[in-house]
Amino acid sequence: MNLLLVAVVLAKAWAQTSDAPSPESTGLLAQIKQRATRDLASVPNFVCVDSIERSLWIPGEQEFRRLDRVHAELAHIEGADRLSWIGNSAFQSRNPTVMVGYGAGFGGDFSDNRALVFKNSLTNISYGGRVTIDGRPALRFEFDHPRGALGVANGNQSGFTAARGSFWLDPQTLDLLQLDIEGYAIPSNLAVQSISDSTTYWRVRIGQQIVLLPRYSEFRLAYADGTGKRNASVFSNCRGYTADSALTFAESPTLRLPPPTMEDLHVPPGLQLQLVLDKTLDAKEVAVGDPIRAHVLKGDGGVRRGAHVYGRVNRIINFDDLIPLPRPKHPPPTPKHEPRQQHPGEVLIQIEFSQIEYRRSRAPLIARLIDLESQPGKRETGICSFGYLDGDATVRYDPPGTASVYVSKDNPVFGRDVTMLWVTTSGHGPL
């Protein structure tokens, strides 16, 4: 376990020469810091698509288990990073895990690690010699920040660690090629064994500028119990951000949501709506954050047949990939109406609807799923709904607008052959 997670650099093949530290390294380091500071200062406001694949390590296994993928947009605005779901115009959260709502914490900042290394006077940098990285020559440097540099959180515990690592530069241009950072002296109350991040960089055109931005980042976290998590991010489709940007992308991973209208409309409670997804969701293909759309088969009130409903994928969980929880020595008594439990061989596809076409405009949708069935003439899909696992507690009913659907891992598909019956609510209290 230690060999896998202590440093991401061990997972790559480096061929380092036996060069001694160069006498020129002191002067060269000053140039490097100036170049890095200039690169950081020249980064314009922009937006990129951030595609994250999240994986789990279980002791005794030979490789990581892939848990899910997340698609989001990351905006760099006035030197700070903000996140949003694809197609939204509001960038708010700085923490991807807060936005997603579950899973391991993961990074994505475009500049924080570089600022820690090149702009912090407490960071010590030493020359490591000439090396070959991915078949190209590079200069290697090592760095160490002995004081609390990285913020780490695990559950309701948080703290700061010291940081150390390496970075590699193009010897001709002094462009940053890769930066690896590792936390050490981790507070014992966090129950974290190791934490590391590795980011590769390339130059990208943003408007009329060519700037240095991350291309790929891999974050790893190992817990004291031997389990570990990995989040691999790929940044793509970067473009300039302006105040009037529509923030839609031709190469977005899936369906784009139209921007919401500002109409102050409210769908009355008590309406029963039959909905069908416009496109089948395959748990092997879709990612958390992907926009989805459905249409109304049978409307009610002012909601017409064929009206569109907009939302996104909330969760994709293969229960075979989760760590089995230990059985308690004294299990609690079985409740009178025991909620449905998850079983091996199932996959959870959780979706959330947030807007509906109503009276020729867009309005918030507040509703609950009350039934799920195959359409007449369609084959039985074997799917079921109601309830989901949140940590070690089972939630009996989904929040308004949300549906947790369980499908077989052999055919993890939820789509157009299934009718969903929803009832609109006021958003306050039970149905």
62-66, 89-93, 159-163, range with the lowest pLDDT: 89-93
Asked whether residue 179 is assigned to any structural domain, the reply reads: yes
Residue at a domain's end among 240, 261, 293: 240
For 117-162, how does the pLDDT look when each residue is reduced to its tens digit (9 = 90+)? 998 888 999 999 999 998 899 999 999 998 877 877 777 778 888 9
Nearest to 195 by CA among 230, 167, 168: 230
Nearest to 347 by CA among 422, 425, 282, 394: 282
Asked whether residue 153 is assigned to any structural domain, the reply reads: yes
Asked whether residue 29 is assigned to any structural domain, the reply reads: yes
CA–CA distances in Å: residue 56 to residues 67, 292, 295:
7, 27, 36
Judgement on whether residues 234 and 293 belong to the same structural domain of the protein: no
- In the chain, the percentage of residues whose pLDDT exceeds 90 is 21
pLDDT score of 90 more than 80: no
> Cα separation of 218 and 381, whole Å?
37
Judgement on whether residues 209 and 291 belong to the same structural domain of the protein: no
For 191-202, how does the pLDDT look when each residue is reduced to its tens digit (9 = 90+)? 889 999 999 999
In the chain, how many domains are there?
Answer: 2
pLDDT score of 169 more than 90: yes
Judgement on whether residues 302 and 404 belong to the same structural domain of the protein: yes
What's the burial of 21, exposed, middle or buried (CB within 10 Å: 0-12/13-18/19+)?
exposed
Average pLDDT over residues 407-419: 85
Give the residue with greater pLDDT, 18 vs 300: 300
Model confidence at 11, pLDDT cuts 50, 70, 90, reads very low
Asked whether residue 357 is assigned to any structural domain, the reply reads: yes
In the prediction, which pLDDT does 272 show? Answer: 92
Asked whether residue 344 is assigned to any structural domain, the reply reads: yes
For 352-374, how does the pLDDT look when each residue is reduced to its tens digit (9 = 90+)? 998 999 888 888 888 888 888 77
Structural contact between residues 53 and 64, judged by C-beta atoms closer than 8 angstroms: no
CATH code: domain of residue 29: 2.50.20
Judgement on whether residues 231 and 280 belong to the same structural domain of the protein: no
Judgement on whether residues 220 and 302 belong to the same structural domain of the protein: no
- The per-residue pLDDT of the chain, averaged, comes to 76
In the prediction, which pLDDT does 415 show? Answer: 79
pTM above 0.95, yes or no: no
Judgement on whether residues 86 and 172 belong to the same structural domain of the protein: yes
Judgement on whether residues 236 and 337 belong to the same structural domain of the protein: no
Judgement on whether residues 153 and 54 belong to the same structural domain of the protein: yes
> Cα separation of 220 and 281, whole Å?
29
pLDDT score of 2 more than 60: no
pLDDT score of 54 more than 60: yes
Asked whether residue 245 is assigned to any structural domain, the reply reads: no
> Cα separation of 18 and 6, whole Å?
24
112-116, 207-211, 418-422, range with the lowest pLDDT: 112-116
Judgement on whether residues 232 and 363 belong to the same structural domain of the protein: no
Nearest to 349 by CA among 393, 284, 295: 284
388 lies in which domain range? 272-424
Judgement on whether residues 174 and 131 belong to the same structural domain of the protein: yes
pLDDT score of 392 more than 70: no
pLDDT score of 245 more than 50: no
For 268-318, how does the pLDDT look when each residue is reduced to its tens digit (9 = 90+)? 899 999 999 999 999 888 888 899 999 999 988 889 999 999 999 988 888
